[in-house]
Structure 1
Amino acid sequence: MTQKSKSSKVVTLILMILAMNTIYMLPYLMYTYYTPLQEAMGLIGRDADYGRLLNVYGIANVILYLPGGWVADKFDCKKLLVFSMVSTGVLGLWEATFPSYTILLLIHILFAVTTVLTFWSSSVKCVNMLADEGEQGGMFGSLEAGRGVSGLVLTIIFTSIYAVNAADSTKAMRLNVSIISVVMIVIGILLAVLMPKPKNTENATNATLLDSIKAMGVAFKCPVTYLLAGMIFCGSMCLASTTYFAPYLQNICGLPVKIGVLYSNYSKIVTQLIAASAAGILATKLKRSTKPMIVAGVVGAGLYIVMEILPASTAVMWPMLVVMTVALMMIYVFRALYYATVDEEGTPKNIVGSVIGISSLIGFIPDTFYTSLCGKWLEADPVGGYKKIFLSCILAMVIGLVCAFISDRRIVKFRAANNKEA
């Protein structure tokens, strides 16, 4: 690999990290600034309407995952990424005017178009095409680790901006939304100017609508689609469950509130950085992304069993904190590597987008119901509810482990067949 080729990969990867971290900030902004954003939108006392903004975005996402895969396989991924970043930024500037509720609903539906239909599958496919054979695990691991670092930096920047202007929450939120929007537009422009055209694009896109429909049909028949869906399902459900780690440690195990706040704010970022970096390095050295995932699946399932059987008591507070932290690392090993298996199993480039779209539709199903279900469990029986959450994670980890193991066998078989042909 030439120095120029290597540097262009690094630049592209950095831009992808920034793009993937910023583009979802606005749709999910209420997670960080629930009350201030609610005030700025004029929705105080209308919590159902306020929550509905995120609901319509989530429903539209589910609807658009499949056509998003088709779009990724039909059009140039660089153009799609540029369009996504710039258009999401423009929608954000519109949102910053805090228009009527009807317009806010429309903006959130359009957010789904620009962040899922034209971006999600295209962004994963772009990284897939960026990495050469043998680099997939390292590239996706670096992507996940980089997202942890940039997420921390961006969070510090935007929370600082809000803190300076917190006396006027509407002004503060308007400023934050506007700055995030401008940053996205700038990233879109940088992608257009600095991102080189991916190589081998002649085999990566489909020439006609009929070819794209056929590609989607092929993707539906590919085992890799459903194996990837299982691994995404594992990561999605287990990561959602980590929302309840700090409350369990505080409310059941007696962890001091100050430590609980620090844990909830920084545990994910730190473990994401460490686990994703280690996963990328191991995948490169072991020459298969599935090997670290198999280990993570075994360890993760074992740790969730420990959480299930340990008593709900202050006596196990510190051991439980350690167990939960290591389990969180195992989740990020999966998240860092499961997309790398698409290339390692020899998936044709012209169906990669469709594979990502279909598997995302299936794999992210927990996002549509799981936290609500957990809430019902906890309302009915706090301790028993947490135990049900841990049990759910055991089952999810087993699903991820089985899919990773089958994928590993398929990769070995694919490479053995290629060696024979050579």
Structure 2
Amino acid sequence: MRSRFLIIFCLIFAGELIFSLPFHVARFFRPTVLSVFNLSNADLGDIFSVFGVTATIVYFPGGALADHFSARKLMTISLLATAVGGLYMATIPSHLGLSLLFGYWGVTCIFLFWAAMIKATRDYGGSSTQGSAFGILDGGRGLVAAGVATVAVYLMGSFLPTDVAQATEVERQAALRNVIYFYSAMTSIAALFVWLFVPDSERVMGNSVKQSLAGITELFKQKSVLLQAAIVVCAYCAYKGLDNYAVYVVDVLKMNQLEAAQFTSYAAYLRPLSAVAAGFLADRFLASRVISSGFMVLAVIFLVLSFLHPDGMGLSIIYGSIIISFCAVFALRGVYFALLEEAKTSNKTTGAAVGLISLIGFTPDIFFGALTGRIIDASPGIEGYQNYFMVMIGIAVIGFFATMLFAQTLKSSALKDSEVSTVV
């Protein structure tokens, strides 16, 4: 029998590597990606939107699939198909080719993988440690992301001259191409780990197609599920917002491209600590309380970043604010799926619930990059980023109120159930 540690390790490792090619490359090496592929921030945002559209289409059917088939097989196929896409990316395709590739990744990363991973993690956590289970999952994913990115940054640096600013276009292409090959190889290794060490789950029996559809229809009527989706929308916008720090520190704080990659990869090491801490706090104080606090912190931080200039003490405050925002965002990601247990979602419909929440919650993949890319490009320099942070304030405030409404809805529902029980 495979140990629980080995199983959660494989879920963690695969859960991060599945997104390494479409997201890590652009997150940690964004200035280089923009240069090598000859893209603007808006162009890259539009390409991410293609990923978002195809992912949105398959979130829900992928969730239903996870309720009926083995996570081991679904996840292995997904990882291998994603790794193959990296080989095409390494050819440095055109804008159209890159768009088609991200559309392909939207399917390979989500349809067979996402809900299967969330369902497997919920099963792992049981009924009393959902917060810590999801915190460990996301914290572990963060540690994998940071570790792999650190190696990738070193790999990239080995292909660039000592004075990075003097690197030729050919040298930049070679450096980025080798980073892409590296991430493709790591994704393939993750597929091997899943195949070897994650056990085949038994097929869910006892639910006919008609019963499954009835359960899914019922989910659409549950206010708490829709509010969870709204919470994920806001938290995911904040997470995608971290991608813009790489260009922010280049354009505003005047780092070079390699320094920016190093800064964002080092910041990723905050994710394990933040997510795991949030998970244990969620088990003790409820996930909704941790999440509402996280949104409050983000609103304040984005307000600070929206008017500060990098001069004198302002520079130190900016760095401190960036670090705190990383911690708050990682904490949100660590526990937002723990809300499934807080809302007492049935295990039999976990996959479908994840599919529905993800269908709505990850729509920022469609619009966020395109929107914020245009905001930043419209006002070059610090003004564009200040306008961007103003938008982020609004998103954090909406997330806070959605979480408060979610908690109030559960409280009202529990009160009604108590009254009915008393009458009976």
- TM-score range (shorter-chain normalised) is 0.7 to 0.9
Higher deviation after alignment, 188-197 or 321-330: 188-197
Aligned counterpart in structure 2 of residue 23 of structure 1, from 6, 18, 23: 18
**1:171-194: CA deviation from partner (whole Å, max 9, x where unpaired):** 776765555444434433432332
**1:200-222: CA deviation from partner (whole Å, max 9, x where unpaired):** x64xx774433333333222222
Higher relative contact order (CA 8 A, sep 6+): 2
CA contact (8 A) 1:21 1:151 kept: yes
Mapped partners of 2:221, 2:227: distance in 1: 12
Paired amino acid for 2:281: L
Question: How far is the alpha carbon of 1:119 from its aligned partner?
Answer: 1.0
Q: Counterpart in 1 of 2:303?
A: 305
CA contact (8 A) 1:18 1:150 kept: yes
Aligned counterpart in structure 1 of residue 71 of structure 2, from 63, 72, 77: 77
Q: Secondary structure at 1:27's aligned position in 2?
A: helix
1:125 equivalent to 2:119? Answer: yes
Mapped partners of 1:259, 1:88: distance in 2: 26
Mapped partners of 1:363, 1:23: distance in 2: 19
Question: How far is the alpha carbon of 1:231 from its aligned partner?
Answer: 1.5
Structure 1 segments unaligned to the other structure (5+ residues) = none
Paired amino acid for 1:240: K
* TM-score normalised to structure 1 length: 0.79
Q: Counterpart in 2 of 1:139?
A: 133
1:213 equivalent to 2:225? Answer: no
Q: 1:107 to 1:239 in 2, by over 3 A?
A: closer
Question: How far is the alpha carbon of 1:401 from its aligned partner?
Answer: 1.5
Mapped partners of 2:310, 2:30: distance in 1: 32
CA contact (8 A) 2:32 2:257 kept: no
Q: 1:322 to 1:56 in 2, by over 3 A?
A: closer
**1:270-309: CA deviation from partner (whole Å, max 9, x where unpaired):** 33222112112212333x212221222222223333334x
Higher deviation after alignment, 165-174 or 18-27: 165-174
- Give aligned pairs, total: 407
**1:84-105: CA deviation from partner (whole Å, max 9, x where unpaired):** 2233345545766889999877
CA contact (8 A) 1:241 1:389 kept: no
Question: Identity of counterpart residues, as a percentage?
Answer: 22
Structure 2 segments unaligned to the other structure (5+ residues) = 161-169
1:193 equivalent to 2:188? Answer: no
Within 5 A, what are the aligned runs for 1:74-113? Answer: 74-92=68-86, 108-113=102-107
Q: 1:340 to 1:326 in 2, by over 3 A?
A: same
Q: Secondary structure at 2:242's aligned position in 1?
A: helix
Q: Counterpart in 2 of 1:359?
A: 357
Within 5 A, what are the aligned runs for 1:171-250? Answer: 177=180, 180-197=183-200, 202=204, 207-245=207-245
Mapped partners of 1:291, 1:168: distance in 2: 49
Q: Counterpart in 1 of 2:326?
A: 328
Question: How far is the alpha carbon of 1:170 from its aligned partner?
Answer: 7.3
* TM-score normalised to structure 2 length: 0.79
Q: 1:109 to 1:211 in 2, by over 3 A?
A: farther
Aligned counterpart in structure 2 of residue 62 of structure 1, from 56, 59, 63: 56
RMSD: 4.0
Within 5 A, what are the aligned runs for 1:271-420? Answer: 271-286=270-285, 288-308=286-306, 310-312=307-309, 314-315=311-312, 316-381=314-379, 382-411=381-410
Higher deviation after alignment, 176-185 or 97-106: 97-106
Q: 1:300 to 1:102 in 2, by over 3 A?
A: closer
Question: How far is the alpha carbon of 1:122 from its aligned partner?
Answer: 1.8
Mapped partners of 1:262, 1:105: distance in 2: 23
Paired amino acid for 2:337: Y
